[in-house]
Structure 1
Amino acid sequence: MRPQKVMDAEIFKGLGTVLRARGYDGASLNELASATGLKKASLYHRFPGGKQEMTAAVLTHLGQWVEEHIFNPLSDENMAPKERVINGIAGIKELYNGGREICIFRALSMESGLELFHKQISDGMRQWINAFKNVGISFHLTPKVAEERAIETLVKIQGSLVVSKGLNDLSVFENALEQIEDYYLKM
């Protein structure tokens, strides 16, 4: 068996970059192949279900990364709640490269991307809300208030990514994360 020339992490990074930039409908197989360093035939060999399978795999890969680097730190009850927030925010900064990266959920929330991946997108957003809700509860907020704050937090993260891109100003994203962190740390 021949060794893999392109590692899975590189493949997912390349696929994710194209999908974030173009969305599901706009991403061509040529762009996806080029971004991974693979020929189209090799890409189809790894993902016989085509672009839909590639996208599902990217969502799964990103979901695992977010679980490890954001949700786990936010829910680690061995850490003080403030430390959990600081570590979770650090993971968010890394995930979105300081605000330079578009959220994959946003990119896939149009046309057929939403039709095909609605459950994964909805479940992923629910996980974000639950992670921040649990942090709020650890700060002694009621479950209702903690969930409301968690939804506001998700809206602030997503909205700041859009506005940062639109204004070409990363400080919008940075300021939003600081506001989120301040809200929780000042409880």
Structure 2
Amino acid sequence: MRPVKVEEKQLIEGLNRVFREKGYEGASLNELAESTGLKKASLYHRFPEGKKEIGLAVLSFSSEWLQENLYRILNDENIPVSERLEQSLSKISDLYDKGRETCILRALSMEAGMQIFGKEIKEEMNNWISNFTKLGIDFGFDKQEAEAKAKETLIKIQGSLVVSNVMSDTTIFISTLESIKNLYNN
């Protein structure tokens, strides 16, 4: 019998889904393999260092997605600044399925995950802040105010994802995205 072929994107999306639902500690290798359609041995063949390597691959994929789908828009000076904000918030809404999905950074920062992936998670959060800071500067805020708004944006997004999930109410996340528009347009 031939081994199952799984495309990289499909593989990472399955792994991402398990980590988002279970966190690093809660995700078993059986669940990770099952999510990809691979056998556990095939998963180990692709990721010889095990769960840590799988987590790093998911974080790398997420970082690439953010670069291409969010940061690129935030920094594209050919797009009017208010449209960049609008498009970026739309991409964030898509990324988190309008507030139904957990952030992979949060999921992998729980329990032992922070000790393992802390550097990568901090780097990605700093990328969010620096890219939203650039947007704030382009809106006309000074660097200090733009950075404060960028941090507030990250906190609002992350916090509203948690509250939306706990309350089973995506309107919390959606209204938070609207409040972020007001944060930059005032």
- Check whether TM > 0.5: yes
Whichever residue aligns with residue 98 of structure 2, its letter is: G
Identity %: 49
Aligned equivalents of 1:14, 1:70: Cα separation in 2: 22
Task: Write out aligned runs for 1:90-109 (5 A).
Answer: 90-109=90-109
Q: Render the CA deviation track for 1:31-63: whole Å, top value 9, x for unaligned.
A: 001111110011111111111001000000011
Residue 122 of structure 2 is aligned to residue 114 of structure 1 = no
Give the 3-state SS of the residue equivalent to 1:119 in structure 2.
Answer: helix
Alignment match, 1:154 = 154
Q: 1:83 to 1:3 in 2, by over 3 A?
A: farther
Aligned Cα RMSD in Å? 1.2
Gaps of 5+ in 1: none
Whichever residue aligns with residue 125 of structure 1, its letter is: M
Task: Write out aligned runs for 1:26-65 (5 A).
Answer: 26-65=26-65
Aligned equivalents of 1:123, 1:136: Cα separation in 2: 20
Q: Structure 1 residue 183: deviation in Å? A: 2.5
Aligned equivalents of 1:57, 1:5: Cα separation in 2: 18
Residue 18 of structure 2 is aligned to residue 18 of structure 1 = yes
Q: Structure 1 residue 108: deviation in Å? A: 1.3
Aligned equivalents of 1:111, 1:158: Cα separation in 2: 17
Aligned equivalents of 1:75, 1:3: Cα separation in 2: 43
Aligned equivalents of 2:116, 2:3: Cα separation in 1: 33
Q: Render the CA deviation track for 1:78-105: whole Å, top value 9, x for unaligned.
A: 1111111111111101111111110011
Whichever residue aligns with residue 104 of structure 1, its letter is: I
Alignment match, 1:89 = 89
Aligned equivalents of 1:74, 1:182: Cα separation in 2: 17
TM-score of the pair, normalised by structure 1? 0.95
Aligned equivalents of 2:169, 2:107: Cα separation in 1: 19
Task: Write out aligned runs for 1:167-182 (5 A).
Answer: 167-182=167-182
TM-score of the pair, normalised by structure 2? 0.96
Residues matched between the structures, number = 185
Whichever residue aligns with residue 29 of structure 2, its letter is: L
Whichever residue aligns with residue 180 of structure 2, its letter is: I
Give the 3-state SS of the residue equivalent to 1:111 in structure 2.
Answer: coil
Give the 3-state SS of the residue equivalent to 1:49 in structure 2.
Answer: coil
